[in-house]
Chain A
Amino acid sequence: MKLRKFQLYKPQIGRSLVGNTINFITLLFFAAIMVLPMAFSISNAFKPLDELFIFPPRFFVRNPTLENFANLSSLFIDSIVPFSRYISNTFFLTIVGTIGSILIASAAGYVLEKQEFTGKKVLFKLVVTALMFTSAVTSIPNYLIMSKLGWVDNYASILVPAFGSAFNVFLMKQFMVNVPQSILEAARVDGAGEQRIFWRIVMPMVKPAWLTLIIFSIQALWGTTGGSFIYSEQLKTLPYALSQIMSAGIVRTGASAATALLMMLVPITVFILTQSNILETMMSSGVKE
């Protein structure tokens, strides 16, 4: 077995050893600051009650225990729904929302990039403008529209706007610039219909882009509390449960750390699995002048 040489920095012109060392130390310092609160939260999740409140607080856990996680189900024992309901609700929202969002955004991105129709430029300018404000700006009219549609207290109020995310369409459209027109023309000459071209040729080519959309969608949907639209307890999501636990005060520090850990787990895992694809997509994500 050949041992590979472990290198931190590739030798390059204009880079001195001193410069690289300072670079790395700075990075380590800030990476520690970034990760500290989360590492702290993770270690909190495994602490038994007496260690949580030691004064001064200790960073690493001496006697790790899983009782905080076990307590979660008993915490909600007298509520209308079991704790696992929150988890399954969040899974449902995330999975359905992500799949729908990717399909609709890919279709729209493809048409915006590769097809001609009147108003194409205007529509894309509108999509870019939609990136420039947050949903809080339109939250009030959105509520009015939802109530007129009868979607209050219904998952459609979260899923349908997620399907129409301008950010997703923007990323897909930018990535599809990399699909060469010549391949599409060749397919048309060979007699392939538009639908077949889309599903058999274009979609596999833009795989990094929909992997990126997957991670961003999962991030957004996993962390949604349902906000002003969801009222019945059966439909509530995991972040809502987390905020309830945290607002119960300092008594529930262990349980809130356990829930926070559960919440962090899914997006981070998906990110690790898809990271290289994400970077490939973001390469084409720029806004041209």
Chain B
Amino acid sequence: MIMQSAEKVKTHHSSLNKNRRWFAYCYLAPFLCIFLVFTILPVAISIVLSFTNYNVFEIPKFIFMQNYLNLFLNDDEFIMAVKNTFIIAIFTGPIGYFASLLFAWFINELTPKIRAIMVLLFYAPSISGGAYMIWQLMFSSDAYGYVNSVLMYLNIINEPIQWLTNTKYMLPLVIMVMLWMSLGSGFLAFVAGLQGIDKTYYEVGYIEGIKNRWQELWYVTLPNMKPQLMFGAVMSITASFGVGDVTMALCGFPSTDYAAHTIINHLHDYGTIRFEMGYASAIATILFIIMVGTNELVQKALSNVGK
């Protein structure tokens, strides 16, 4: 009798497990299929295509490392693009990241209603989609551009400055607009993370001898926010290396002397205009390696915060 009921329990359990496994596969399947086809597969195709010469109409021809050699040795615009992208990324990435952190920390001190309004004000540029085109209007090159007209009214300059077509001003302007847009999902993660820290940690800190808010930040707040810090870093790095739309919208495509040409612009140039898919895939693969590599490095660095 006991053996029989034990067997019943065993078969019931294995049918339960089968049920669970079916459920798991069915519910994971839609995402898994789409993810494989539209995220994993393209990366794989990109890497494979980067070793070929492909112009969509003919079958790809293997030319091995020729694309990469051309990129680094023969292509001045690519070197320019890499330089520009790194300049933009170095300024926008860390500064945007620390600004998000700092403002989130400042905002955290306010009472809930005011805090909600402030969060909205700071997050507004990121949320409004194409709002960065307003900057195009403000820095317009004729006398009606708002910055030009204010400067002329104050008699600082006599003629309108060609902001967005002057190679000297292009990069700083792009960096400024990117910083303006940099308070995105990382910022929200920080605001949320700050609210989620247990109050007792602060009290313990003050008992232990922390004197002011800056010490509190380094010793209590930041170590408790490490997962959010990492998430914010990933978002920030990805966005700053992925700059492309903003430069196209503000400075034109191509920009004067390629002074605001980024890697993504170069990618679009060779991919969608010249249809040299192999070459463009090589650029894409390099960008992929840069993005993922930098992210991994920063993750390792961030795991040491507060130690």
A residues at B contact (CB < 8 Å): 7-10, 12-15, 19-20, 23-24, 26-27, 30-31, 33-35, 37-38, 40-41, 53, 55-57, 104-105, 107-108, 110-112, 115-117, 123, 126-134, 136-145, 160-161, 163-164, 166, 169, 188, 193-195, 198, 216, 219, 222-223, 228, 239, 242-243, 246, 250, 253, 256, 260, 263-264, 267-268, 271-272, 275-276, 278-283, 285-289
- 1/0 per position for B186-216, CB-CB distance to A under 8 A? 0011011101100000110010001111001
Interface on chain A toward B: helix, strand, loop, or mixed SS? Answer: helix
Contact among A14, A134, A139, A263 for B130, CB-based, below 8 A: A263
Would you mind naming 30 contact pairs between A and B with Cβ atoms under 8 Å apart? A23-B109, A24-B110, A37-B125, A37-B135, A38-B128, A38-B131, A55-B143, A104-B30, A126-B35, A130-B35, A130-B39, A131-B235, A132-B292, A136-B244, A137-B267, A139-B284, A144-B56, A145-B41, A145-B42, A169-B31, A193-B19, A223-B129, A243-B130, A243-B133, A250-B144, A260-B134, A267-B127, A283-B193, A285-B189, A288-B230
B residues at A contact (CB < 8 Å): 16, 19-21, 23-25, 27-28, 30-35, 37-43, 45-46, 49, 56, 103, 106-107, 109-111, 114, 116, 118-131, 133-138, 140, 142-144, 146, 149-150, 153, 180, 183, 185, 188-189, 191-193, 195-196, 202-203, 206, 210-213, 216, 225-231, 234-235, 237-239, 241-242, 244, 249, 264, 267-268, 271-272, 277, 280-281, 284, 287-288, 291-292, 295, 299, 303
Are the C-beta atoms of B119 and A275 separated by less than 8 Å? Answer: yes
Are the C-beta atoms of A57 and B150 separated by less than 8 Å? Answer: yes
Are the C-beta atoms of B125 and A34 separated by less than 8 Å? Answer: yes
Taking CB atoms, residues of chain B closer than 8 Å to A256 are 133, 137
Q: Apart from A132-B234, A141-B41, A164-B37, what 14 extra A-B contacts exist at CB < 8 Å?
A: A8-B114, A34-B121, A38-B131, A56-B149, A56-B150, A107-B27, A108-B31, A134-B242, A141-B43, A141-B46, A239-B130, A275-B116, A279-B188, A282-B191
Are the C-beta atoms of A250 and B142 separated by less than 8 Å? Answer: yes
Given contacts A14-B212, A246-B133, A286-B231, A117 and B21 within 8 Å (CB-CB):
yes
Taking CB atoms, residues of chain A closer than 8 Å to B25 are 117
Min CB gap A265→B, angstroms? 9
**Alpha-carbon distance between A117 and B249 when the two chains are bound, in angstroms:** 46
Taking CB atoms, residues of chain A closer than 8 Å to B38 are 138, 142, 145, 160-161, 164
Residue of A nearest to B294 (CB): A132
Contact among B28, B45, B227 for A141, CB-based, below 8 A: B45
Interface centre among B16, B122, B225 (most CB of A within 10 A): B122
Are the C-beta atoms of B185 and A216 separated by less than 8 Å? Answer: yes
**Alpha-carbon distance between A41 and B137 when the two chains are bound, in angstroms:** 10
Taking CB atoms, residues of chain A closer than 8 Å to B33 are 164
Contact among B121, B188, B225 for A35, CB-based, below 8 A: B121
Are the C-beta atoms of A107 and B28 separated by less than 8 Å? Answer: yes
Given contacts A41-B134, A133-B238, A160-B38, A287 and B299 within 8 Å (CB-CB):
yes
Interface centre among A110, A138, A193 (most CB of B within 10 A): A138
